[in-house]
Structure 1
Amino acid sequence: MDTHARTQPSTPAAHPTGVHHLIGQHARQHPGAPAVREAVTGRELSYGDLWDLAGDLAARLTDAGLRPGDACGIALDRGAHLVVAVLAAARAGAFYVPLDLDAPAQRSAAQLADAAARFVVTASGDGRAAAVAPDLPRIEAVRTAGTAAPDHGRTGHDAGGHDAGGDDPLYVNFTSGTSGRPKAVLVPHRAVLRLVDEPTYCTLRPGTRVANVANPAFDATTFEIWATLAARGTVVVMPSVAATGLDRWLDLLRAEGVAAMFLTTSLFHMIAQERPGALGTLETLLVGGEALSPEAARRVLAAGGPDRLVNVYGPTETTTFATYHDLDAEKLRDLVRAPIGGAIQHTELRVLGPDLAPVPDGDRGELAIGGPGVALGYLGRPELTAERFTTLPDAAGDGVFYRTGDLVRRLPDGSLEIFGRLDRQVKIRGFRVELEEVERAAVATGLATAAVVEKTGEGAAAVLVGFVLPAGDRHAPARTVTELQTALAGELPGYMLPTRWTVLDAIPLGPTGKADRDALLALDRPDTPDTPAAASASDAASAPSASDAASVSDAPDPGDGPAPQDGDPATEVRRLWREVLEVAEARDEDNFIEAGGNSILAIQLAGRVNEAVSADLGPADVLLATDLADLTEKVLHSATARR
């Protein structure tokens, strides 16, 4: 396996080298302590149950031919089975490749191929794994009823599993890549041990209930599962807000006694605007993924917010979080930009100039991150690994630092302030997107000779817009866009698909001969009806890896939210549609996604409509409505049924 791994300083000697051994210790010493709970089903696993089920799966994978150092795909939604599967992979000495089951099957299949996965762990009766890995053996995460019970002599609490080394890989997460091919970030045990070792960014103790809300394929899951289990806490698996609606989701959060949680910045901003007092039951709330609005934080704290509100930052390549900044009313008083703070435990930060030499405090430079949290590199991509992972002198001699591409400066109090990117990477609702990957995918369809993609808007209203030079009939722009969208939807996840395209006769060029992006953005017309949408209802999935690099600019400050109205329901729906989507017109034939909507805005619109007209509308109703007329009909029916 050509990982081109770089040796890092070891984690504190008090810890075993494999993170799974920590869970084994809890299973031996506290077998009855609650480890996992599914909030919707009520299913629970104790540490003893979890350890036994993971041991059984590890044994079955090993018997089937999985060996230490092999890759094992995981095609599971959030749930107890997912926690069993990741622990089993670690105990077998393998590294796991969690899949985004809402992404196109072809993309997931390519990720499994890149990682050279040997098996795929799936749930009983779930056919999605067959679609992404038709040629790989599939192993059920948990034996179905009536099959042989675990052999406790082999899988019991004393069987620790593979004795992993600190640099042995634990999992792979994929991030967007400029070449058109996602990058496989290979994360070792020592990096996760650094994340969970007495975390400075979050107070975790035995019994702490931590929400699991992230997509399994994204690295916030690393905190939610491994940090919780390492502290002998309880992983509380939550449904997506888009599936339940905001108020029901918040009720469930309170009912489950969740004490700590990570939220993407976009979702936090929306809650701050709609229900600012709803997070007051939390002990610790971590927020990350994009630039945090100080006004949103002020609103939440003023409404009796969590005991601890923390702005966190960290690329996937540095294992979920690298910096943190505690926010309180005093710190927020005069802030216009929220700092990303200082280093979490066992982490070193450098602000570098173009020559990789440190810049003076107060000057802007590229942020480089070192310490045991730095990943091994990009699986099978030695040139790219060498470009982004560099050796710099540190206290221990020479250490590997990850060059983030983020522009920062160090403030007088030592914390870091972030300003943007040195490249064309952007964030869309917490998702990291290389614009060049989308452009290359568009040209690769054969339907375009050139494509330019840009981000417009901020926060939950941020979208991608595209400009295309068609390869075929330039006199049929609507057909070009429709065919292009259809082709891209089979290649890219929903968050990477432009909301609208503009078909061009020529790409305007700037003085250097490159595409004039400002001129292109001036051509973008959001209210043009003949611009089919690129996103789909799959965008309603939970937002992932919100802990990646912060977005290029500040998120907009949220307003005061809507006041309940007593007007005609149809009129209210139309008014709220314009308000949430920030559009001047609302036509009966308008589609929510085509108009710039997404899962966050669907949650917002559903909540506001329910409040205004006493309906029972869910975010899925908004996302799946054919058009505004269809949505209005659903609202009228719901409001009538509730009277």
Structure 2
Amino acid sequence: MNAVPATDPRPHLSTATSLPELFRRVAAARADAPAVHDDGRTLSYTELDVASDRLAGLLVRDGVRPGDLVGLLLERSADIPVGILAVMKAGAAYVPLDPTYPQERLRYMVADAGITTLVGRADQAADRGLTGVRVVAPYSDEADLPVPPGLDLSGDEPAYVIYTSGSTGNPKGCVVTHRNVLELLRGALPLFEVGPEDRWALFHSFSFDVSVWEFWASMATGATAVTVPLRIAQSPTDFLDLLAAQKVTVLGQVPSVFRSLAMAYENADRPELALRYLVFAGESIDLDTVGAFLKAYPGTAPTAVNMYGPTETTVYATHRVLTGTDFDGAVRSPIGAGLPHLGLEIRDEDLEPLADGETGELLIAGSGVAVGYLNRPELTAERFVTLDGPAGPRRYYRTGDLARKLPDGSFEYLGRNDQQVKLRGFRIELGEVEAALRTHELVRDAAVTVVTTLAGAQFFVACVVMADDAPEKPAAVLRQHAMAVLPRYMVPDRYQVVPELPLTGSGKLDRRAVHTLATPRPASARPAAG
């Protein structure tokens, strides 16, 4: 592995108090170096600094003030880095509005966050019903624009609000500060031997918080961020070509997505790649697929790292470099030890500490723990709790994840303890999907679950109780309805009509029985057709 270059700009991390300050310092040191490569064009650090300054000036002129929330309705391109930096330079926080989301969800997020200004295309905003907001284009040809104020930020100001799935049927916004992100960078970057010569793939949607790490880790080290347009991200073959052509060295992947990339790599006869790091997160790692990829990789294989962390603790909370011991061992989801700026504990249902080796809920404390949920004081109080810790009272985030502490001090992820699941890297509240399905006039009731086949494939299955006048095969109708009100990653893959939903003895939904209903039986056990 290459050593970190002597010109590495990471020392700026030790003194910067905000993300715009960090970027300006790195940009001054790396002025002509490539900052962002975007589908055929490259912006230097100076060009990215100037472009974001101009947009920040437009935002301030149009009334954006420190503390405001500004929506970013942008396609995957250099417009996103420009927009993120501009909003922060104006003293505001950004709210990612993925253009692929349904109109109803986008409108809800804009209203819930109180967004009055968004960066994007006016026609695209209008098409999605986002009226009553100012729309500012990410670039302007105006000659005289105000210079954004050089704000003296303390670091406790919100940097972004990312909406995650909500159990009440509506998504909830998680408020993350500049200090939260800076502490992530200070804690995690020393665990990677990366520097200005690296090229990081901006693969994930900016509505997924892994994008925060991809962008800011690359900027903090003076490296190059390579944007991955949506059309390429959705094609493993095209993405493989991009990785090779752009000599990407650091790649983050959700395990289920990586399976498709690994297959494309084999089908293409293992083309030469420049990968140095493969970083996995978002769901339980597929050790078999990763191990086979590394074993077949010609030359020096990249270092595979498994990381874990909820949005509420700022992207990542753990780190583990995977070795042969992991690939051959009995622990199927090793997530590693906690990052230096965080404290991880396993507690029981009464929030009492458990002994090492016992299974319980994972709680996380430290400087990465977010402010809480936007306009959700009761939910914030429920999930962010102050408890007695090893060194006195601390504020913890209750992850809702089950885990256990291993003898070496690292952790094993064991799944969820509530009605939330992780699927293809996204956290999904089952109740939100069920509530959306029940809004269809032909649906009397619905329950959803994740089914894993013997081959390891995962499917999101909806068991639905239909009205008497519903079509015999309603899957197409239900899928169309779900896609109109939910992001694509929350739309069930399969729809199974049932006469009624199974209940427990106390009258509650029996989720274990729902899972059994949704799980395909072996062909020999199925009744004859008709």
Instruction: Confirm or deny a common fold (TM above 0.5).
Output: yes
Higher-RCO chain (CA-CA 8 Å, sequence separation at least 6): 1
Q: Which runs of 5+ in 1 are unaligned?
A: 1-11, 528-581, 585-643
C-alpha deviation, 1:395, in angstroms: 6.7
Residues 271-290 of structure 1: pairs in structure 2 closer than 5 A? 271-275=261-265, 277=270, 281-290=274-283
Give the match's secondary structure for 1:408: strand
CA distance in 2, matches of 1:461, 1:337: 16
CA distance in 1, matches of 2:394, 2:157: 18
Change (3 A) 1:371 1:524: closer
Change (3 A) 1:422 1:373: same
Q: Which has the higher strand share?
A: 2
Residues 106-505 of structure 1: pairs in structure 2 closer than 5 A? 106-123=104-121, 127-128=124-125, 130-144=127-141, 147-148=142-143, 150=145, 154=147, 161-197=150-186, 199-240=189-230, 245-275=235-265, 277=270, 281-304=274-297, 306-394=301-389, 397-457=392-452, 461-470=457-466, 472-474=467-469, 476-479=471-474, 481-505=475-499
* 1:332 partner letter: F
Task: Judge which range, 191-200 or 75-84, deviates more.
Answer: 191-200
* 1:317 partner letter: E
CA distance in 2, matches of 1:63, 1:383: 36
C-alpha deviation, 1:300, in angstroms: 1.9
C-alpha deviation, 1:228, in angstroms: 1.1
CA distance in 2, matches of 1:509, 1:127: 44
CA distance in 2, matches of 1:397, 1:58: 42
C-alpha deviation, 1:502, in angstroms: 2.6
Cα shift readout 1:410-463 (whole Å, capped 9, x = no counterpart):
111111001111112112211211111111112233432321111112698322
CA distance in 2, matches of 1:223, 1:303: 28
Q: Which residue of 1 aligns with 2:24?
A: 24
CA distance in 2, matches of 1:62, 1:398: 41
CA distance in 2, matches of 1:342, 1:18: 27
* 1:29 partner letter: A
On the 8 A contact 2:181/2:314 being kept in 1, the answer is: yes
Cα shift readout 1:124-164 (whole Å, capped 9, x = no counterpart):
x75246524221010011114xx32556xx35xxx6x3222
Superposition RMSD on alpha carbons, in Å? 2.6
TM-score using structure 2 length: 0.89
Cα shift readout 1:185-216 (whole Å, capped 9, x = no counterpart):
11111111012226144333223211101112
Change (3 A) 1:496 1:271: same
C-alpha deviation, 1:512, in angstroms: 3.1
CA distance in 1, matches of 2:523, 2:237: 25
Identity %: 38
Q: Which residue of 1 aligns with 2:78?
A: 80
CA distance in 2, matches of 1:450, 1:165: 49
Q: Which residue of 1 aligns with 2:528?
A: none
Change (3 A) 1:243 1:368: closer
CA distance in 1, matches of 2:499, 2:145: 65
CA distance in 1, matches of 2:245, 2:471: 54
TM-score using structure 1 length: 0.74
Change (3 A) 1:460 1:522: closer
C-alpha deviation, 1:51, in angstroms: 1.1
Change (3 A) 1:273 1:482: closer
Task: Judge which range, 380-389 or 204-213, deviates more.
Answer: 204-213
Q: Which residue of 2 aligns with 1:513?
A: 507
On the 8 A contact 1:429/1:460 being kept in 2, the answer is: no
CA distance in 1, matches of 2:102, 2:166: 17
Give the match's secondary structure for 1:340: strand
Q: Which residue of 1 aligns with 2:3?
A: none
Change (3 A) 1:203 1:113: farther
CA distance in 2, matches of 1:525, 1:315: 28
Give the match's secondary structure for 2:211: helix
Change (3 A) 1:354 1:515: closer
Change (3 A) 1:381 1:475: closer
Q: Which runs of 5+ in 2 are unaligned?
A: 1-11, 525-530
Change (3 A) 1:17 1:525: closer
CA distance in 2, matches of 1:340, 1:272: 21
CA distance in 2, matches of 1:404, 1:258: 33
Give the match's secondary structure for 1:342: strand
CA distance in 2, matches of 1:393, 1:525: 42
CA distance in 1, matches of 2:206, 2:357: 38
Give the match's secondary structure for 1:221: helix
* 2:426 partner letter: F
C-alpha deviation, 1:266, in angstroms: 0.8
Give the match's secondary structure for 2:212: helix
C-alpha deviation, 1:27, in angstroms: 2.3
C-alpha deviation, 1:357, in angstroms: 2.2
Give the match's secondary structure for 1:508: coil
